[in-house]
């Protein structure tokens, strides 16, 4: 159960920032704080994860560019989380199918909530809300994966609850953004000269 908690927690957090999650797990393994998969502790892997994290850190702060990044990440984050879950499960003699589906599904849920929240925030012309949201997401991802590694049983329950709440939030925000876009298009068509 402890392995599944770490997988669920890292999966949910990976939906917010996959590269930060991999980096935290790798560093925790390097410091002997967690029995991380050896590949995540390698210098080359840590360097690649750090570079990707820095790129995402910058891109994620730029309104509209972050939405394009989130669109691309709709495939990358859940698949990366599933692979991360499978890798962790292999180290702990767990079912890789269960681990992959758990991590990937929770990452998809949290990513959907993140992407739709950011799309709603991008309706605002000022950039500061976007920057604050990005920092909160990064801190949340890093903090939750660290918590999941330290308290995996508690993290499992929290990740499941967060996954359900994120799916509900994503659905509600998607409907909200779609309505706003429709109203914006209607208003634009009314103001165009005939």
Residue 112: count of CB within 10 angstroms of its CB:
22
The pLDDT value given to residue 2 = 64
Q: What CA–CA distance (Å, rounded) separates 104 from 100?
A: 6
The pLDDT value given to residue 185 = 78
The pLDDT value given to residue 93 = 74
The pLDDT value given to residue 194 = 57
Contact 21, 10 (CB under 8 A): yes
The pLDDT value given to residue 176 = 79
Q: What is the DSSP string of the chain?
A: -HHHHHHHHHHHHHHHHHHHHHHHHHHHHHTTSS---HHHHSHHHHHHHHHHHHHHHHHTTSTTHHHHHHHHHHHHHHHHHHHHHHHHHHHTT--HHHHHHHHHHHHHHHHHHHHHHHHHHTTSS-SHHHHHHHHHHHHHHHHHHHHHHH-HHHHHHHHHHHHHHHHHHHHHHHHHHHHHHHHHHHHHHHHS--
The pLDDT value given to residue 166 = 84
pLDDT along the chain (194 residues), means of 10: 84 95 96 92 97 94 84 93 92 84 93 85 79 92 95 91 86 80 77 67
State the residue for tokens 């704080």: 33
pTM listed for this prediction: 0.83
């Amino acid at each position: 159960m402890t392995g599944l908690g770490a997988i669920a927690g890292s999966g949910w957090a990976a939906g917010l920032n996959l590269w930060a999650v991999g980096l935290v797990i790798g560093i925790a393994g390097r410091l002997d704080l967690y029995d991380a998969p050896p590949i995540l502790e390698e210098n080359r892997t840590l360097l690649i994860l750090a570079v990707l994290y820095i790129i995402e850190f910058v891109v994620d702060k730029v309104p509209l560019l972050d939405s394009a990044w989130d669109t691309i990440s709709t495939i990358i984050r859940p698949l990366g989380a599933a692979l991360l879950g499978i890798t962790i499960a292999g180290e702990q003699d767990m079912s890789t199918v269960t681990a992959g589906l758990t991590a990937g599904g929770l990452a998809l849920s949290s990513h959907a909530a993140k992407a739709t929240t950011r799309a709603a925030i991008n309706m605002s012309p000022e950039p500061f809300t976007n920057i604050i949201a990005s920092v909160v997401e990064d801190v949340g991802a890093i903090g939750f994966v660290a918590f999941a590694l330290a308290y995996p049983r508690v993290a499992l329950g929290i990740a499941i609850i967060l996954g359900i709440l994120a799916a509900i939030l994503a659905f509600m925000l998607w409907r909200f953004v779609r309505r706003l876009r429709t109203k914006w298009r209607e208003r634009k068509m009314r103001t165009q000269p005939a």
